[in-house]
Amino acid sequence: MNSTGSKWLLSLFLLLAVVAAADAQLYESYYAAKCPKGPAKVAEVIKSWIVRDRTLAPALLRLHFHDCFVRGCDASVLLNGPTSEKEAAGNKNSLRGFNVIDDVKAKLEALCPGVVSCSDILALAARDAIVAMGGTNWTVPLGRRDGVLSLASEANADLPSPFATFPTLVSNFAKKGLSTSDLVVLSGSHTVGLAQCAVMQPRLYNFSSTVKTDPALDPTFATTLKKLCKQGDVTTKIKMDQTKAVDTWDPNYYSNVLRGRALFTSDDQLKRNSGGLKLVQQMNRSPSPFNKAFGDAMVKMGKIGVLTGTNGQIRKKCFVKN
């Protein structure tokens, strides 16, 4: 084995060791003694926001995902700063829900000052938001602490791209200790939410030097998308799942992938590998194993690079370190 391969295996081993340590220190009843009403308060506040704006549910789920993929689940995505993760290409003018997290944090500080971390709030908010919109539920192990560093450069390097190929996506996830199955299952969250027309421009109008529109798109679907996202439009937002009048949490995403009706290149890439295709087909079965698999994958993702014990801090305000 060459030195590059040895270094990669060593990095993976160390990552798995960190995850194993996190398993021992994160548990659902972490706040039972110090802030017993804390998790319920998070659910209450999140529900009040989702009732007013259902689009915040997938936004909060995405916020947790983007946090965990950069420096681990340490709430670094929430920190303000001219070079913070908020300024990264995949986050700026795209991530939403920061005001919701600030609201939750303020109410928790009034209830239990200096106890509940912003990183735990993100993990709970992601789950509670999906539940509030009528989606699946899963347990959320708690006990994370907050980081003090946030860099756009790291987010630009670590966040999976909507233009990525299957091998690149598998590599992105593997570096975080996540499997190909986790990749396919977590991608199923694209059954809800919004996408910017800017991301669709290459597939619709500039796919290659010889073909303007990505032939992997269903032709009728491509025509519909072109009506929603005019050439040059980089600001309009459209539903991730165009086959439903109203966003609902379901495994319909996988049907869209198979029929060429998923928005991103990265979505379509899931079926361009025999292993990925098999997983997509499994999720598309009726009854689908999607909800259980998604919950398991979220618990696993929520343990990436967590700070516990005396590491990190419990921020008083989520957008600034203490």
Compute the CA torsion angle 64, 66, 67, 71 (nearest 10 deg).
150
* Residue (of 145, 12, 163) closest to 72 by Cα position: 145
Please give the single-letter amino acid code of residue 118.
C
Compute the CA torsion angle 291, 266, 262, 124 (nearest 10 deg).
30
Rg over alpha carbons for the chain, rounded to the nearest Å, is 20
Contacts by 85-88, CB closer than 8 A, 24 or more apart: 85/150, 85/151, 85/152, 85/154, 85/155, 86/150, 86/152, 87/152, 88/152, 88/153, 88/155, 88/156, 88/159
CA distances for 274 relative to 120, 185, 255, 284, 286, angstroms = 36, 16, 16, 15, 21
Distance, CA of 55 to CA of 278 (rounded, Å): 30
Token pair 């791209």 in the structure block, residue: 161
Token pair 């993929």 in the structure block, residue: 69
Active site residue 190: no
Active-site residue, selected from the candidate residues 64, 66, 71, 261? 66
Helices (H), the chain: 3-25, 38-52, 56-68, 98-111, 118-132, 152-158, 166-174, 180-187, 197-205, 219-228, 252-259, 265-269, 274-283, 290-301
Do 182 and 297 touch, CB atoms closer than 8 A? yes
Q: Which residues are catalytic?
A: 66
